[in-house]
Amino acid sequence: MSHAATPFEIYLRRWSLVPDGAPVVTHTSELLPVRRDGEPLMLKVSQAEEERFGGLLMLWWNGDGAVRVVAHDEDALLMERAVGSRSLADMARRGEDDEASAILCAVAARLHAPRSEPPPALQPLDARFRALFAGAGQGGVLAEAAATARALLDSPRDIGVLHGDLHHDNVLDAGRRGFLAIDPKRLLGERGFDFANLFCNPDAAVALAPGRLARQAGIVAAAAGLDRRRLLQWILAYAGLSAAWHVEDGTDPDLALRVAALALAELDR
């Protein structure tokens, strides 16, 4: 297939870009490493509405805590490319879980910081939980997670702009610029939600290691200035939501269900 058949061609011409690696395809987007005047950049093309709104949030952050947007249109983002060698997932796997969590909390603090400009259109956090509420009738830990989520959403604290999908693989090493976030989901809600997904990541071996959830709940609560018990409630709610999404998609919910069970057990201690 000729290069012109790719979805990138119009943007390579429009923004004077040179391909600099193999494309990456996800379920919502296609990405291509590129260079312009020697600068490493990432071209992302997507037709998914959520991705377009996420791009607007990246623009609003203006490179503070997230990768910088260099150019954009409705379907494409041209962003700085994080080319540092450090990986938060690898850090967590090799025994530097505390350090990885501290970095994630520091990035979240930058993303959550107040800004003078109003944010783009955001989705209320309760809309994010539809799958969990729909699946609560199955009982068990899903019902516990749904009830906890409803209680949290009915009494929100510290409401602001959220990343919505903050985890080890969505925060990248940008060298001198430090660690920066990618792929936000443009949510408005309680700040504590943004830390819950850290506990399902970076993989089952780390997430389910004995004592890991309890220890990192303390580390994250202290670093982010959160109430530890309320953070555990968000972990339960989010893990239940993740499991419900897996059930909807026909994929394995086991990891998320086990994290939810660990959070529930820690809450019951």
Instruction: Express each pLDDT in 115-157 by its tens digit.
Output: 999 999 999 999 999 999 999 988 899 999 999 999 999 999 9
Which residues neighbour 248 within 8 Å (Cβ) at sequence distance 6 or greater? Answer: 131, 135
pLDDT confidence of residue 43 = 97
Supply the pLDDT for residue 5: 54
Select from 143, 165, 162, 160 the least CA-distant residue to 237: 143
Domains (ranges, CATH) in the chain?
3-80 (3.30.200), 88-268 (3.90.1200.10)
Residue pLDDT, tens place only, 84-125: 999 999 999 999 999 999 999 999 999 999 999 999 999 999
Q: Which helix (H) or strand (E) holds 159?
A: strand 159-162
- Dist CA 269 CA 262 (whole Å): 11
Please give the pLDDT value at position 1. Answer: 39
Q: What is the mean pLDDT of residues 31-57?
A: 91
pLDDT(253) > 80: yes
Q: Is the dihedral of CA 82, 83, 85, 90 positive or negative?
A: positive
State pTM to two decimals.
0.93
Average pLDDT, rounded, for the chain: 95
pLDDT at position 188, please?
97
Average the pLDDT over 175-186 and give the result.
95
Burial of 267 (0-12, 13-18, 19+ CB in 10 A): middle
Catalytic residues: 165
Q: Express each pLDDT in 220-244 by its tens digit.
A: 999 999 999 999 999 999 999 999 9
The model's confidence at residue 53, banded by pLDDT at 50, 70 and 90, is confident
